Chain A
Amino acid sequence: MVPKLLAPALESLKALYRGSPATAVAMTIILGILMLAALADYVAPYGYSEINLWRRLEPPTFDHVLGTDHLGRDILSRLIHGTRPLLYVIVVAVLIAVSTGTLIGLLSGYFGGAVDLVVSRVIDALMSFPAILIALAVVATLGPGLEKVVIAIGIAEATTFARLSRGLILVEKEQLYVLSARAVGASSFRVIFRHVLPNIAGPLLVQSTFAASSAILWEAALSFLGLGAQPPTPSWGLMLYEAKDYMTLAPHAMMFPGLAIFITVLSFNIVGEALRDLMDPRFRRIMK
């Protein structure tokens, strides 16, 4: 069962990797982040909260390749350890967004009626509104912290998935395979999750990649406002927040976390684009 499912996925990953040099580099960076997160304790030269007040705000040197921060902590090590909160944010926020958003969108689109009317008005209302304010309101309600930020991002991003999956199922439910599934007596639950969901997985996957890149930016932004991760978590956004007070003394402390966020977001966006091209039927036909 598993190899049967994994084989096409692996095949498309390969196709993706061969797609363009930029995609290959971006995929390598993401893979690198995964490996750094797994091996952080072995790869990082120092611990992420190892304080050395004698060596504060030092520019890059041989033993501190990216320099040190305002507490003399090694920035490279903090960046490496920071891949863990980063992945935590990506995985949990995207899971919350995909599961709640898709569930709401699918049910609302499939059953239609008054519920659909209300749901789509609510989605419209939320989407016409700067998402950062929704996230801020959620964080303010729940209090600061990485877990709360993740929930806030999940909720803010869920609207995109709700709208996307609702639009997709509106098209799919008129398709012959859905009608025939219903004709042989499949329950609505079965039709939605067993028949329609696999058919719309592609666009949802593409959207998840973009959601991952915005989750990174959100977390960093909220941490930058002091509402996200709390010290001494090596969150990249928090590192930037702490470094901004010393930016005239030690610009490197602010540059490297920012660059790390930038490169990671860029990589996710590049992979997302390539994935979308791959999933797009017009492109897929060309590739076969």
Chain B
Amino acid sequence: MTLSYVAYRALLYIPTLFIILLITFSLVKLLPGDPITVMYGELGPPPEARRALEEKLGLDKPFAIQFFFYAYRIFTGDWGKSIYTGEPVVELVLRRFAATLELTAVSLAIASAIGIALAYIAVRRPNSLADRLIGIASMTSYSIPVFWWGLVLILIFSVSLKLLPPGGRGGLENLVLPSLTLAIVNFGLICRVSRAAMLEVYSQDFVMAAKARGLSERRVILKYVMRNAAIAIVTLVGLRFGMLMGGAVITETVFAYPGVGRMIVEGIFSRDYPIIFGGIVFVALVVMTVNLVVDLIYLALDPRVRIARS
């Protein structure tokens, strides 16, 4: 049952992937200037050399052929090489992905911890002063421009206090500021969704029954409410995780952090098609995998989903 469900969900992602491939491919094809002109400058190479290069890079084929050729190579794992450095895209993407994964995982862990803890406090006394302050804090969190917040942190911790490096990647100290930046910007949404989900569960009969049986408030929330609200929270954190895979590009730029998002932007600036394609398709794959994992966590968390499926 579970295996066929996994297979079913995985199959659903194939058209999605196809659409993403088609959209990105069309967009990149629309980019002004082709890679050959970029390589050789305004005048371009002599016509024979250009023709040879076009043939070598497959740029002389019709759009549909180029697209299907490309899709075929993606599915067989041949992602091409960077037009400039000649480095295989898969290797480059994987190396950049490691950096992004590190940043995303750490910052989301911090954001979830803060968000869920605050939601817990808020739910214990709805509409109290604490609840309202937490509401304001969450809204502040997702209203902060992330690039500005990153710069403010650099200004405080790197420039004034000289405690932490302002960017780059290497040790743990390089990770503190970018992950704090992302955590602060992301905890608000997690807190809000957790609070709403927990409040909804809170008003249900089984919670009242648990309270009537004399369980402490803390126990009711932790054991009954949290568990039932977990689905909404897991969904959101999963979605954020996928979004940050490429969406951390601004933070990566501010902190000169060599992640996937930054790589795609660099690719766009230099029209390095394989890099742009590789990066975007890779992010899409990661997002889909995360979504699939979230679906599977449902199964583990909620027996109702399990029964409905079988």
Question: Which positions in A face B, CB cutoff 8 Å?
Answer: 22, 121-122, 124-126, 128-133, 136-138, 140-141, 143, 213, 217, 220-221, 224-225, 240, 244, 247-248, 251, 254-255, 257-258, 261-262, 265-266, 269-270, 273
Contacts and interface: CB of A to CB of B under 8 A. Distances in A.
B148 A262 contact: yes
Contacts of B265: 136, 225
A258 B146 contact: no
Contact of B31 (A22, A128, A140, A266): A140
A133 B264 contact: yes
Contact of B20 (A129, A141, A247): A129
B210 interface: no
A68 B40 CA distance: 42
A128 B242 contact: yes
A221 to B, nearest CB: 5
B145 A262 contact: yes
B152 interface: yes
A24 to B, nearest CB: 15
A221 B139 contact: no
A258 B250 CA distance: 14
Contacts of B280: 133, 137
Given A136-B249, A141-B30, A258-B148, A128 B288 contact: yes
A132 B247 contact: yes
Given A137-B24, A248-B159, A124 B16 contact: yes
B19 A128 contact: no
Nearest to B239: A128
Given A125-B16, A138-B27, A258-B152, A133 B283 contact: yes
A247 B155 contact: yes
Contacts of B284: 128-129
24 contacts: A125-B15, A125-B19, A126-B23, A128-B288, A128-B291, A129-B283, A130-B247, A130-B287, A133-B247, A133-B249, A136-B249, A136-B265, A136-B268, A137-B276, A140-B268, A141-B28, A225-B249, A225-B250, A225-B265, A240-B147, A251-B159, A258-B149, A258-B152, A269-B139
Contact of B145 (A143, A248, A265): A265
Contacts of B20: 125, 129
Interface residues of B, number: 49
Nearest to B139: A269
Contacts of B66: none
A232 to B, nearest CB: 20
B147 to A, nearest CB: 5
A261 B155 contact: no
Closest 8 CB pairs of A and B: A258-B148, A130-B247, A130-B246, A266-B143, A140-B268, A125-B19, A265-B143, A125-B16
B249 A128 contact: no
Interface of B: 15-17, 19-20, 23-24, 27-28, 30-32, 136, 139-140, 142-149, 151-152, 154-155, 159, 242-247, 249-250, 253, 261, 264-265, 268-269, 276, 280, 283-284, 287-288, 291
A220 B145 contact: yes
SS class, residues of chain B in contact with chain A: helix
B283 A130 contact: yes
Contacts of B245: 130
A128 B286 CA distance: 10
Nearest to B287: A128
Contact of A129 (B32, B139, B152, B287): B287
Contact of A247 (B27, B151, B253): B151
Contacts of A125: 15-17, 19-20, 23
Contact of A133 (B246, B269, B288): B246
B294 to A, nearest CB: 11
A121 B19 contact: yes
Contact of B143 (A126, A244, A262): A262
Contacts of A261: 145, 148
Nearest to A254: B151
Given A224-B147, A266-B143, A137 B152 contact: no
Nearest to B30: A141
Nearest to A139: B268
Contact of A220 (B17, B147, B253): B147
Nearest to A244: B151
Most-contacted residue by chain A among B140, B148, B284, B291 (CB, 10 A): B148
Contacts of B249: 130, 132-133, 136, 225
Contacts of A213: 143
Given A128-B287, A247-B151, A121 B139 contact: no
